[in-house]
Structure 1
């Protein structure tokens, strides 16, 4: 029997979960969405399975093969109705967990998770937390800050001297490397069954988007300016990126909720080691030059 099942195993967070588990001497069943991605992560201690998490019965049978599981609700294609699709996958995963016999699960969630409708991850992941808790299996929830990887799409425009964001230039935002989130999740997967409840995970510092622009400037050795997207243009900015009408509306409402309410800033979060500057430097090193 493998010790762990990891959903989203080929993504930024899931792959870091896998690496940390293997470094600690564990083994894992890695759930991937395609044969190509499964081949990229399979190894002596990793059995890769290609599976649709919407297949509740098949997923439950895989979960029965392990003692613990890392649960990540996969993001939907932004050209779809993301809230509807992600709510459906969350329900399927929770139903698979129910009756699986797992001794503990770790759930990936987000800062600011809250009840509501059409506020993207804030409500979808809050509901996911509640559904997993309702299974009765001991549940550790790691709420992650704003992902550094959200900034990756800005690299091309940064080379042109500008990045755009809906967030006010001076708004301090908790941010984190997905790799640090994966390591933190793996540690909780391996910890005592009594290590449950919500824990917050962010990077070593909190940053403004003015500081994000400065970090791009430093790494690229050229001036990068920040353009703040006006509030009434946020939804349209997502449409221009190919988001569906429903997804653009949800993401815009999520951004506005974060701006209006301020980002959740817990007093004593767990802090990863990766800084904003380090993430951007690594991004630039791994990307083709324009």
Structure 2
């Protein structure tokens, strides 16, 4: 069984690799820098070193694979992230169209089904369409909002604030990237599915940012309040950070385009995964927030008060 895994050092990809190894599969992994692979894993996988934006490398590295797990590696910081994502996927699309790849599992997102108006998520929708047109068997995992996105707000959480561009009171799906990896690995190993398949990965429950703030209050042992941030303020902050206009829209448009959106697939036994936000936050967020609070204390900032253990 030949399985290719892209971004094998990422939060989802690394979990996929681990599960495949435990299932007795030696996956082929595409990496820019093999040194980033876990040393214990490096000798158990087939490493192909190259740049995923290099179409020729992707064609060669995926040739003959039964299944490819594709994660778009594009960072939405360039002048046109959506076009960059589509160009990066072109090698895989060409391989699937030529029959060099039999099946593709794509890490997509809730909102990709909109096919427009959702910032960088639109690129995933376009990749879905391109893969669907190849004739290869394709499975699109439309994933919920990652728990790990909270790690981008460490300094704010150290101050007891959870900023959000979404409606604070509106529930939405949240998911642990590790659970996404488990679902992806299960699909990569399964031989029964054919044609075009869409499967959402919604996490254990829908939560509003108000509810998330309440959960984090318990996890961190100090008050956390949700605070709405306007689209204009987000765009202004991104622009001030030096992002070009295309990147600003790619980032800000994701929340702006999906905050009133109901996913195409309902929550059911196939789309619900087990890890709760509280469990993830105790393991991954609480230590990082504590570090941020200690750093603020060293700087004399107001994040020092009430530091969590």
Question: Is the structural similarity TM-score above 0.5?
Answer: yes
Q: What residue number does 1:43 align with?
A: 42
Give the superposition deviation at 1:262: 4.4
Q: What residue number does 2:154 align with?
A: 155
Q: Structure 1's 34 and 253: CA in aligned 2 closer, same or farther, altered over 3 A?
A: same
Give the superposition deviation at 1:180: 0.7
1:277 aligns with 2:278: yes
| Secondary structure of residue in 1 paired with 2:135 | coil
| Partner deviation per Cα, 1:74-101 (whole Å, 9 max, x = no partner) | 1325254322221221223312333253
Structure 1 length-normalised TM: 0.90
Contact 2:16 2:184 in 1 (8 A): yes
Count of residues in correspondence between the two structures: 289
| Partner deviation per Cα, 1:270-289 (whole Å, 9 max, x = no partner) | 21111111121122355362
Matches for 1:68-87 after TM superposition, within 5 Å: 68-87=67-86
Structure 2 length-normalised TM: 0.85
Structure whose alpha-carbon radius of gyration is higher: 2
| Secondary structure of residue in 2 paired with 1:174 | strand
| Partner deviation per Cα, 1:82-137 (whole Å, 9 max, x = no partner) | 22221221223312333253332211111121354563233211111111122211
| Secondary structure of residue in 1 paired with 2:88 | helix
Q: Structure 1's 10 and 133: CA in aligned 2 closer, same or farther, altered over 3 A?
A: same
Q: What residue number does 1:61 align with?
A: 60
Contact 1:78 1:242 in 2 (8 A): no
Give the RMSD, CA atoms, in angstroms. Answer: 2.3
Q: What residue number does 1:110 align with?
A: 109
- Is 171-180 or 135-144 further displaced after alignment? 135-144
Q: What residue number does 2:176 align with?
A: 177
Gaps of at least 5 residues in structure 2 are 295-309
Matches for 1:139-288 after TM superposition, within 5 Å: 139-196=138-195, 197-262=197-262, 266-268=266-268, 269-284=270-285, 287=288
| Partner deviation per Cα, 1:135-170 (whole Å, 9 max, x = no partner) | 211112211111111111112221111121111111
Contact 1:39 1:48 in 2 (8 A): no
Q: Structure 1's 172 and 198: CA in aligned 2 closer, same or farther, altered over 3 A?
A: same
Q: What residue number does 1:127 align with?
A: 126
Gaps of at least 5 residues in structure 1 are none
| Secondary structure of residue in 2 paired with 1:31 | strand
Contact 1:57 1:96 in 2 (8 A): no
Give the superposition deviation at 1:198: 0.5
Give the superposition deviation at 1:15: 0.7
